[in-house]
A and B are shown apart, each in its own frame.
Chain A
């Protein structure tokens, strides 16, 4: 009997078929995503609600005549305090959503039972983590777009900068933000308690990265910690790009560290995945729920 209908020739044929597998995974996620559009409501509400908490706090603290805002503007150098806040909260929500969406993409399949059938196929296994990231990035782009739209319409926030520079900052941040998501996704397969990690990360980002205030207000040691979180650079660069009309030269000091962190977190994410795959073969974790 014929061993199989494939010849295991490495090279081009192999790469093409792996790309087709990856594409099939992206498509699968996209079909399911668009078929059950319950997220639409969340997509309009969250971008508004979460920053509003901070915006109203800021208004309350600024005094009845709003004079406190001048101090804020002096401190931050931002002439737009609402824009300042929504960049911070949006980055925070981005990382948070990635940890839930990408971070639990494998875990959800594990619980549904489909992770095992995916694992049974000869396709490259990392595709199963990479694939769902595509639709996630698209939906995140929608999320950020809607944020801009809502605050533009309802709060009169006006962009003072180039959309392309904002996109550049976001692209530069993708490897770091999603690399962390990959590492996390692999951890929760073998160590179920790892979900507590989400709260740690978003807590860190919330306090250290200055989502609603300038880092310089933090105590010295906290500023040191902030330097090691990529979100710090993303928030800083995004604010500059969106509201201070910063161009490429001004953004480079944020882009370079973001890319370095990106390389680091992608490597961590991929090695955690390999570690998980090996460990799951010992413990049978892929099939447990």
Chain B
């Protein structure tokens, strides 16, 4: 179930943000996407989800063309999305948020039960209104909601932004378990240490293009690529 993107061009109205992205994500592997603020990382994920239309280029999931599909068809092919800033359905309960996540697969009980073993704290709060959860719990819910879809490809946009270290490692552990189940994970992440700990490979984005892709094995925190592309 490889996700293969070639020559993707997209933007907002007259503004072009993605200028020919080539990208690949493999099942069971975590591919990180790094780049400075505003290079188009979030736009790339939105474009994969069909939320920002691609004007050119192809998105293939195991050969099936996803580009040009209406946004609501994309998750039916197994793509799940954890947006930057969580975007929970705030006035809805935890259980209802999870039910929205499971819509396309018919909300089967086994999937929900499995997701709740990954995030037991959510199981204790099923009837709590999402916007009253703590920041960390909200982030767990955003990920859990996506997992209820039983995704083949999981897109995560800075899921540990602004969280305390214990919460960060809890979420990282959950992400790692997914790869064991054959999910292809695409992770937008700004922190070098997190990338080195989690990722199998890392793609560096500059001005709407993937400039370079590196295997994480053998990459050190002081490698010049990080300074070049991320500025740390």
Answer yes or no: do A and B interact. no
**Chain A residues engaging chain B, CB cutoff 8 angstroms:** none
**Chain B residues engaging chain A, CB cutoff 8 angstroms:** none
